[in-house]
Each structure stands twice: as structure tokens, then as C-alpha cells.
Structure 1
């Protein structure tokens, strides 16, 4: 058996297309959703990510506001910018790109964002809304994980789901979202006793532990849906010259031989993050403006 590949690029493109239609449909009301992205410092990966966000924001008809600050920007200046964006009615979503320089308290910055403009879904208020089943903005990567799982099986109700990883960014919120889909959810992690046995119970396995190819093929229940959130750079001896390649948290070739459906790395969860960010921006715009 060889698993069906869940094409994150195709699912993300379909979502962006639908969002573009919705943005166009509300343009007649004078509403143009606006996303502000703040980048502090010169991190190369973050610069590429921010550039892609701005490009895709404009492509679907939303307004894009970019704020690039030097790496030595004082925390007070960043907080003042966040306050201005909170008060700016043209801005519906605010995203401060992480990681931030060491002298800036990321939690303080996240807490300063208006929860109704927190399109990353990281604000404690939105975390509380998610945990208690109230409407709110949901972290983008977990939201994308659930969409990809539902592209493989539309109704997840009753499935036994195992989430490997307990971070506030992915593990915990994706578990909450799966509970809302009526899954029976176990959160496991690197210190769980007999982690392979826990994973083998899963009809739906979400790997978000940040260790390259940690989840092996014999950890997978035959026919399971596997969502691999990991993005890890490892040496690529075949390419030579000290080059690297991207792998997930799942040993893909092994798992593909067992699973029913699986996301690749790259091309799986990654493309969904920006698409879900755009969905959150549209949701925030509608909620803020009634």
C-alpha cells in the first residue's frame, strides 16, 4: 500500500481562490481587509516569509502594510508601533514576525496586540477562546493542519487523534481544534512513555515535535492520516558540497508505505500557513466591522 499524498500547495491555492472571491464580493461595501506585518531585524528566512505574505495578501485583493525595523529597535518603539496599528481602522490584522531579537520580550509584544486583530492567534485571550470553545482567531498552522486532514477525510468525528508535540504554537491549539471536530485526542511528546505505541493507536497522527524523522514507519497505524508539521534542515550527502535538504518529523518513505494519506515536506503543511493567515484577516475584518 502507498499512501495518498495530501497536496498542501493545491489545498492552499484553492483556499486563496475562495478568499479572493469573498474579498471581491465585499468590496462593494467599501471594505478592504488590511494586514499589517512587522519584521524586526534581518533574519533571512523571516524576510522571505514576510515578502511572500505581502505578495499573497495583495494577490487576493487585500491591503498589505509592511513595517521593517532594525534589529536594535527598542522594545518600547515596537510596542508603540503595535499601539498605532491597534488604533488604525484600515488595519484588520496585525502580525509581528517571530522570532524577535533577544532584547525584546515576545510575550509582552503578543499581549499588546488587540485580540480582535491578532491574526496569528497567539494572544492569551484567543488561546482562552479556543480552549473554551468560543469564537476567536485561531493559530494559522494548526488551522491548516485540520483543513488538510479534512481534505483526506471530510468527517473527523469519532477518530482517535494523537498529537506529538505540546507547544503553544502548534501542539496545544491543534489538539483543541481536533476536540472541536469530535475527535478523541491524546497529546504526546518526546518524554511520553512508549511513544511508538501511543502513535500506533492513531487514526489521525499530527507530528509537531521538531525532531527530524523521529516518527518512524512502524509507529504508523495502517491506513492512518499523517499530518507532518516538522520542517527540519539536515545534511544531504547525495548533493555534496555541504548542502542540506528539508525533512519533516516523520520518516516519509517509511510512513508512506503504511499510512492511508500523508502530507509531504516540503509542500504539505507549510503552504497552508499563509493561506490561513489570509483567512484569519478576512474573518477579523468581518467581525470588527459587523
Structure 2
């Protein structure tokens, strides 16, 4: 018993933190009206001890790459996990500076789709006439590509990473990271109300931090006063609260903010959420959460 307690204490000492570099959905929304929450599209950095894990390469990845090189003073080594290949989650790929440094070592983890590998799908975002240079012609780092099945587990140093297919057009992976007895779940780009919900709730069960798609209000989702967003692959803040309750998570983090929702509207939305989940947080660029 004494040895098990010692192991548990040693695990708990492993630094575990989450930093947000992009929190917006669909398209970047820079400007004075979104300055406090940020206008970049999804990119989240997670550190588990010395292990670097990056989730998605939206436009926020540009600033992340610059920061990593400045801090390291040399090559960058880490794992990048792609949820899916829609533009807003890969806009930063061609501008992620570490990938152009020959001594950097990066592993790109993502799902194969439509008979194409992760490497083929990522390279397909950098082809003429849509982009002036190719990935094969410009990437200088040692890049390894790993195709992920619909669900599975990877052990990366002290970090255990699991993933699960979510309900989103064309598919999207949710990720669960466990480190030193603490857990973060990253479940962006998921639409509620399908038979996949129960599996996702179980996947997120007991997470310390639950980063969840909360792009719309119920009125927006159902088209009360505008076009309906049903079938678009995103959830509401009400669905986020319900998912957090069902999964019995400790802290809900609202994510993938609507590009039309300015800072004042985000404040209002968060106040509504906190009537149901007082601990809830709305993700902001540069926000750091230590677990």
C-alpha cells in the first residue's frame, strides 16, 4: 500500500497544463470586437511533463510555432493530433515554423479518410493552384505520419492518449489525455443528438477538463430567427452543459466559438452557462490551465 501511495504522489507531480492558441470555429475572426477571446481557429497545446502534444493546426498554430522555437532555441519535438481535415483546423499548417527546421521531429497523428492516408490528406492542403508550394517541397523537419483507427490508445512518455469517433460530417476524432491521474478531453466539432452521444459521454467520464464544442445557442441551432444549423456538425451551449453533466466532468470549457459572436456576446453566453455550471470557462487565446 505504501509503495502504491508513493507512485500516485510521484505521478501527481508531473506538470500537466493546457494552453489555448486558437479557440474560434469555421473561420478566423480577428478584430477589436473579438480581442479578449481571440479570433484564431483551433489549436491547443498540452504539456505532460516533457511531452508536447498539439491538437489541431488552425490559424492559432502560427503563433504556437513561433513560441515553440523561441522557447526551445533549437529543434522542436512533439506529437500533433488532428481531429479532422476541415480548413479551420489546418489553416496554420503551412505557417507552423518548426516544420521547416531540419532538426525538428514531429509526428502527425490523424484519421485516414476516403481511402487517403494522413500524409496524403495533409499534403492535399498545400497544392497548386490553391497554395504556391507543396508540403513535400518545403517541409524540412523529420515528419512521421501515423494513421489512427476509429478508436485506440497511445502511450507517449507519461501521457496516455485515447481517441474516439465523434458525430461530425466526414468524421472527427475526440481525444482524451491522461497524465499523472488527471484527464483532459478535447471534443471539438461534435453535433449532439445522435446515437453516438452515449459513447462520447462514457469516453469523457470523470474528466478534470472537458473542452467541448459550444458554437451555437438552441435558437441559432434550430433556426429561430435565421437559418437552422442542424446537420452542420456542431453543438449548442445547452448541449455542452448536458454532456458535461452526463459525463460527470469537473470543469467544462466552452470551445469553437462562433466567428460572429463578439466578446460582449461571449460574456453573455458564459453567464447563461454558469447558471447551470458555475465552474464553466469560455476558452480564450493565451489562456493557460494547470491541472
User: TM-score over 0.5 for the alignment?
Assistant: no
TM-score, normalised to structure 1's length?
Answer: 0.36
TM-score, normalised to structure 2's length?
Answer: 0.36
Higher percent of residues as helix: 1
Higher percent of residues as strand: 2
